[in-house]
Structure 1
Amino acid sequence: MDLPDSKKEKVTDNNGKSTMSSSPRSPTHLTGHQPSKWYHLQLRTIALFALPFLSFIGIFGTLFIGGRNGTFEHITNLVRQKTPSAVFPNTKYLLLKDYTGIRALDRQLTVLVTFFAPVVDSKNAALYLNSIYGLGQFGAAWTLLVMESLRSGNKGRAVSFIGTVGLIFQNITYAVTVPLYLFIHLLTSPIAKPSSGTHANSVLLISSLDLKILPLSITLAYIVPSILMGLDAPSQVSGHTHQKLIAFWQPFPIWTVIIQWTLRSFFQFIGSEVSSRDSKQAPAPQGASYLSSVKHVYYFALTLCVLTHLPVLLIALVPASVIADILPKLSPYASLNFFDIYVPYFPFPLTHRVSDLANGTHTFLQWDLATGSTALLLWAIVLYRNATTEKTIVDPDTNLSSHQIREMRTGEGNRVGALSIELMAKIGVWTLIAGPIGAATVLIWERDEIVRQKIKQGV
């Protein structure tokens, strides 16, 4: 029996034919891709142009400025100095130049250790706070990148060799390497393309075992070495031990890969309950299992961002007199403002020279973090919009939030200028709370939630 016309909804299928929905509670069908005008660039296209450009900005802000302002000259002079023996920056003990016995490797480690010397010195107030902020942003970004390498759709592809990528950005800079990595990801990874839920089920997912041990791997490979390299010398550790701990931190991408592989192999070998459940799961419920496991990784990354960003932001924004009264121990940092800590310094003229290595390192890391984080946030927005603009069915009884449903209903065919105000506000709020990588983490997490809904509905 037909319903009255007032209760029917007109729906257009992919062939352009109009049909009538028989119930106001029926799913809302979203139409397929609608061709846009030639001058309306899609967000993906914008990103593919922007990411290489960001890499060039990274080259300028880190390598070019570092070469012009004397930062690299400070490091080179210390590394080459033989008579008298070079002294570790701002200390009285000698600069260590022998770590492995391999000359080329020892020289590179000496360069990196010298560069990071002022980073872990709390007397360099602005740089020290920027380093605390960077610890969380960089760690969360690394977590997202490792997750991406573990996704089933990326196995065997260039983007899956994350240990190699990590070593490159540790030696060439995060700001230069990560935008190019994300550019390659958007071009080559099936995960970077809009797809149906059934297709996403075969490319997006990660082994539950990998997800459950990933936070531990990041903690052991990155967070613990970061804490150890921050131990004060000579009050807590000797000068030589301090330098060795800084050197030990440098290849943390390799430590991450080794620890992740070792833990996975161990749990698989002993046939633990976790590994057993993971291996016996049928493909159908795997999406739900994935989401229940991956949320702990997203919580981990987001917590890392919040705990290292909010305290630093408050110090930058709260009046100095208030900080001095409430927390006298933070008085050396009270006079710093937002720009001192976060905003990359643009030298004018370009012949400007830094007064010491600490200032040069601070400028370098400001550009490094800002550029690399911008690239990751842009990439996350593209992946989020892929999930919300692809053809799907919105179940009225879905547990997605109302704003996610609105994104799915209104996002189809949207160009970059049509990014919703709600999405932009969400990015702004999370950037304020957890920094740009925190915002990127939330977007990737919500992307997974939306794709899970597609998998659940079989669309």
Structure 2
Amino acid sequence: MPLLLGWDLFHSPPRAGCGIAAKGQHLAFLNHFPAALLLGFLAPILGAAFLYPTVISFDQSQMLIALWQGWPIWTTALTLTLFSIRKPATLQGSGEKKQATIQDTGQTLHAFAFACAITSHWILCMSSLVSFTGTENSSSLPSLLLPHLPWSHEKPSSIGEGVLWFLQWDYSIAAAATLIWSVTLWLRATSHASVRGSGGTLVLQSAGWSLVSGPCGAAVVLMWRRHRLLSRYCRET
């Protein structure tokens, strides 16, 4: 994830083209992403979690989990398939109708992304509160979110705990990279649109949104603000 986002920062222009057709086709393509993500990412893992053991066996649930590992491929393939079946509506109609459709599509995409981010964040927060019993083995929020330092002498007591530590580092690195990526794109957009802002305010807002919705949720908020800023700038120029 950090390599992918770093590549995007160094090779993407500071803003998307202002042409309505270009932005409309791009968003019309991404408009199918929520459905593709539900089918290619959530369906296999939810099936493995809720269908076992009443409907499927343990081996079948493991096969679903193995199938789930290729979710980027399935999601991309489903997005391309849905896009080829349903032609982009943003390329039809008058200019005002196109612009309204673009705004609605962007709002839907960012709302879906924010819902996914804040749901997972609060599930994690609530699980730490529910499991809190004051005992030594209780799961606190810092122990669920913060990964163990690699140079510490503590070793995992089981394979499951080791997997948890790995997933904590995986999430922490990906979430931090995503937040840095979104902050960088937001700063580029404000500089291009000649919008002045305070760095301290941006830090406080990012920290606040990270507490409420997690780092990924804060990144979604910044990207949605960037989209609105550039859309308004393109209309005025």
- The question of a shared fold, defined as TM-score above 0.5 by the shorter chain, is answered with yes
Deviations 1:240-287 (A, max 9, x none): 21111111111111111111121122223xxxxxx4x42224667644
Structure 1 278/348 Cα, relative in aligned 2: closer, same or farther at 3 Å?
closer
Alignment of 1:13-412 (within 5 A): 178-190=1-13, 193=14, 200-202=17-19, 205-207=23-25, 208-231=27-50, 233-268=52-87, 275=88, 277-281=89-93, 286-317=98-129, 320=132, 335-349=138-152, 352-392=154-194, 408=195, 410-411=196-197
Give the Cα separation in 2 of the matches to 1:377 and 1:254.
24
The code of the aligned residue for 1:289 comes to: T
Structure 1 426/339 Cα, relative in aligned 2: closer, same or farther at 3 Å?
same
- The share of aligned pairs that are identical, in percent, is 26
Q: How many residues align?
A: 234
**Cα shift at 1:236:** 4.4
Please say if residues 310 and 434 of structure 1, whose CA atoms lie closer than 8 Å, have aligned partners that are also in contact: yes
Structure 1 391/353 Cα, relative in aligned 2: closer, same or farther at 3 Å?
closer
Task: Report the secondary structure of 1:256's partner residue.
Answer: helix
Q: TM-score, normalised by structure 1?
A: 0.47
The code of the aligned residue for 1:292 comes to: D
Please say if residues 380 and 443 of structure 1, whose CA atoms lie closer than 8 Å, have aligned partners that are also in contact: yes
Q: Specify which of 191, 204, 211 is matched with residue 425 of structure 1.
A: 204
**Cα shift at 1:202:** 4.2
* Alignment match, 1:434: 213
Give the Cα separation in 2 of the matches to 1:257 and 1:211.
10
Q: TM-score, normalised by structure 2?
A: 0.87
Give the Cα separation in 2 of the matches to 1:368 and 1:206.
34
Structure 1 vs Structure 2 CA RMSD: 2.7
* Alignment match, 2:229: 450
Please say if residues 125 and 141 of structure 2, whose CA atoms lie closer than 8 Å, have aligned partners that are also in contact: yes
Extract unaligned runs of 5+ from structure 2: none
Q: Which moved more, 1:449-458 or 1:283-292?
A: 283-292
Please say if residues 30 and 79 of structure 2, whose CA atoms lie closer than 8 Å, have aligned partners that are also in contact: no
**Cα shift at 1:347:** 4.0
Give the Cα separation in 2 of the matches to 1:319 and 1:185.
40
Give the Cα separation in 2 of the matches to 1:225 and 1:348.
36
Give the Cα separation in 2 of the matches to 1:232 and 1:279.
42
Please say if residues 92 and 98 of structure 2, whose CA atoms lie closer than 8 Å, have aligned partners that are also in contact: no
**Cα shift at 1:425:** 2.1
Please say if residues 373 and 436 of structure 1, whose CA atoms lie closer than 8 Å, have aligned partners that are also in contact: yes
**Cα shift at 1:435:** 0.7
* Alignment match, 1:12: none
Structure 1 303/340 Cα, relative in aligned 2: closer, same or farther at 3 Å?
same
Please say if residues 31 and 105 of structure 2, whose CA atoms lie closer than 8 Å, have aligned partners that are also in contact: yes
Please say if residues 229 and 249 of structure 1, whose CA atoms lie closer than 8 Å, have aligned partners that are also in contact: no
Q: Which protein has the bigger helix share? A: 2
- Which protein has the larger Cα radius of gyration, Structure 1 or Structure 2? 1
The code of the aligned residue for 2:39 comes to: L
Give the Cα separation in 1 of the matches to 2:95 and 2:12.
21
Please say if residues 90 and 102 of structure 2, whose CA atoms lie closer than 8 Å, have aligned partners that are also in contact: no
